[in-house]
Amino acid sequence: MSPSVVALGIDIAKLKFDVCLIKENGKTKHKVFANTKHGFEQLVAWLWSHQVGSLHICLEATGSYGEALTVHLFDAGHRVSVVNPAAVKAFAASRLTRTKTDMRGCRIDCPLLPGTTTGSMAAARA
């Protein structure tokens, strides 16, 4: 992973997903991809263009919408945390955030990474 990159938050929906790449200096990069195999490949290429190697990625559990993306990112060598939407909502409320747009949602997911307790993707796939 590039030393200047901290994390990647993803806000996923049925047809698309928004990503927010957070750098150590606090700057962010946002992008939207189709929730398809091609969109997953575009995300990996986009991360590569930002010189991002292995990365910790966080997304909300949203039914089946994020399953294929989660597996794709894990298979690409990334650490993926899928968090409970109630935890995201509570975290947003603690930051006095009242609305959650897609872009803001992926930004909110990122700070959850350090304290996130999730099951291992490797264990889930075994």
Instruction: Provide the residue ranges of all domains of the chain, joining segments of one domain with +.
Output: 5-125
Residue the block writes with tokens 């995300």: 43
Range 31-46 average pLDDT: 95
Chain centroid to Cα 121, Å, comes to 14
Distant-in-sequence, close-in-space partners of 88: CB < 8 Å, separation ≥ 6 = 60, 105, 108, 109, 112
Read off the pTM.
0.72
Chain centroid to Cα 52, Å, comes to 14
Range 50-68 average pLDDT: 85
Tens digits of residue pLDDT in 68-113: 999 999 999 888 888 877 766 676 566 555 555 444 444 444 544 4
Q: Assess contact for 83 and 91: CB atoms under 8 A.
A: no
5-125 is a CATH 1.10.3720.10 domain: no
Does 53 have pLDDT greater than 70?
A: yes
One-character DSSP codes across 36-87: SHHHHHHHHHHHHHTT--S-EEEEE--TTTTHHHHHHHHHTT-EEEEE-HHH
